Every structure is written in structure tokens, then in C-alpha cells.
Amino acid sequence: MRSVICVHERFDASWPFTADYWNRRWQESGACELYRTEEKGARAPQMVENPSSVHRLVLLGLPADTEDLEPFSGLEELYHDAAGQSNAGLDDAQARGVDIIRARGPIQWGQTVAEFALGLTISALRRIPQTYVAMMESHETWKYKPDVGKPGQRGTQFGDDPRFVSGTIAGKRVRVVGIGNIGGRYASWCSNMGADVAVWDPFAPEASFTLAGVRRCFDLSELVKDADIFAPMVPLKDDTRGLVGPEAIRTLPHQSLVVLVTRAAICDTETLYQRVLNDELALAADVWDIEPVRLDSPLLGRHNVVHTPHNAGRTIDANHARADDAINRFRPR
């Protein structure tokens, strides 16, 4: 059996750790050939000698038109992962008996993004980035004890900001939009940590809520009313753009924390950002309405904002998971 992986640099630009890992895994169970190209118009038949002898073919970042696949006349299984590249030949290949395996994005980055969201949440509750910076600037952040102790003021080892939701996830009212690969994980973990978790997702089966161990909310307007932590976690599509509108944002309780890790445009960001700038809400965000964020944005460096540059979804682990998910759907050999 001959197994071949063909990779264009455009794929490596997005998933730089996937192809080599895939090659190593297939090498462990038998021979595998890996071919790379940076040529803009490269096609798979130009990269592989004697393509008719290939049984398993992986095309990463390369087109899959009929002219690309016909030379692989002995092909049994084909994986194609190339956003923006033609896949017009897949139906013809399938008609001649080739098993077609396609990429499944959310499978790979669900764990990575959900963990990042949990990290952002804890960072915002405990002001970890703010105290990290303050510690390098002066010893002021070490001065926990006042001259005279008074109720409600800063005390020993207390670094949180009482103007906003702070402290532990345990005991907080966590309200999540979406119980898919990202939202389901995040909701379940928060519940396991002791939070009161409710999720709104009108399209999810009841089993999703049961398995996550969370309460189902049937109305978005009710979900936001008592949120300590609000995390909208759905993908951006035509029907989710602006899903969390200005009224929902205005209804969020004063001092609550908003966590954004999927796409900012699912929310009315104008209303959200204004409430953050008015010190009415705290924000922990990896995604933004305009990226990159302007360096003079008033949101950057604020006491009530934790910000990262849209990198929640890509880790070496996510790269490996992308390969693992595909490999597991090939026939056992």
C-alpha cells in the first residue's frame, strides 16, 4: 500500500504542525511519502512520481479538480483540506469508488479554544495580566495592607477589583450562548468548578445539556439578566451575526464579565465596548470587531479588560488533533 501526503505552503501557513505530524503517524504503521511545494500553481500529479500506484492520498492546500485526481487511478482513499482551492473533482473520484474524507474544523480547535476561554475567565477574575504588569513597574502592587484596616478596602494578599465580578469561578452565575464543541466544554468545566451554569441554545438536543451537567435556558433575554459571567460561544454565520443584540448587552448586570473567544460580531460590539469603557462591564476577549485592534484603542491596557490577539484556536495540539481526526477516519490497515 502506498500512502502520499502533498502539502502546499498555503496550508502550512495556517496549520504548520499538521503535515509533519501526520507523516510521522503514518510512518509508524508503514511507509509514507511527504511532498511539499511553494509554487503558486502547483498540482498534485506534478509532485508525485507514478501517481497511479498511490492508494491513500492527502492533499493539503492543493486543488482537487478532476485533472488532479484522474492520474491517481489506483486511489482508494482521499483526504482534501484546502480552503479557497477547487474541489470540483471530488464527486467524480467518489463515483469511481474513492472514499472522500473532509476536514472538520471545530473538532480540532474545540478543546483549545475552550481551555483558552477558561484561562481568560480566571485571568480577568483575578486580574492576573494587570498585576503582572504592575509588578514590573513599582512595588505599589505589593502594598496590600492599609495603615488602618477598614471594611471593603484592600487587605492582605487581595489583588482583585471589587468594582467588577472577581474571585473564584465557584459560586458564580455563568451564562453561556451555545453548547457546541467550545461552549459545551466551557460550560461543563465551569459547572464542575462549582458555578451555577445555564446555557441558551435553541438548536441543541436535550442530551447536550444533560451531558454537560448544566441547566437549559429557553430564552436569551432571560439568560443575560443575572449573569456574573457571560460567554457567547457560537460560530459566526449569517444567522448568528448580531445574535446578542444591544438590548441583551444593556441587560447584563453592572460589574459582570463578558468572555469572547469565537467571534466578536455575534455581539453588538458598539454597545458592549461602550459599557466596558463606562466601567459598567469587564471584558476578557481574544476576538474583536476589527482586527488587528488599533494601538490607540481605549480598550487596550484598561483595568477592566484582558486582551489577546485572536490566537485561542491554534496550538500544536490543535494541529495534531486535525491530523488525528482525519487519520481515524481512514480505513484500518
Calpha distance 207→108 (Å, rounded): 22
First to last CA, the chain: 9
Cell (9 digits) for 48: 508525485
Q: What is the CATH number of the domain that holds 62?
A: 3.40.50.720
Please give the pLDDT value at position 200: 98
Q: What integer pLDDT is reported at residue 27 of this predicted model? A: 95
140 and 183 belong to one structural domain: yes
Report the alpha-carbon distance of residue 213 to residue 198 in Å, rounded: 10
pLDDT in tens, 19-56: 999 999 999 988 999 999 999 999 999 999 999 999 99
Please give the pLDDT value at position 187: 98
The domain of 8 spans: 3-103
Does residue 89 sit within a domain? Answer: yes
The reply to whether 324 falls in a domain is no
Provide the pLDDT for residue 98.
97
39/65 same-domain check? yes
Q: Judge whether 277 and 298 are in contact, CB under 8 Å.
A: yes
Both 68 and 186 in a single domain?
Answer: no
Nearest Cα to 259, choosing from 172, 163, 174? 174
* Residue 321, domain member (yes or no): no
Domain presence at residue 130: yes
Residues with pLDDT less than 50, the chain? none
Torsion angle defined by CA atoms of residues 270, 271, 277 and 281, in that order, rounded to the nearest 10 degrees: -140
**How much is the pTM?**
0.93
Domain presence at residue 73:
yes
**Statement to judge: residues 91 and 161 lie in one domain:** no
Query: How confident is the model at residue 195, as a pLDDT?
Result: 98
What is the distance between the alpha carbons of residues 299 and 305, in angstroms, rounded to a whole number? Answer: 7
What's the pLDDT score for residue 155? 85
The pLDDT score that the predictor gives to residue 333 is 79
Judge if 118 and 234 occupy the same domain.
Answer: yes
Looking at 78, 103, 128, which one is the last position of a domain? Answer: 103
What pLDDT is attached to residue 145?
Answer: 80
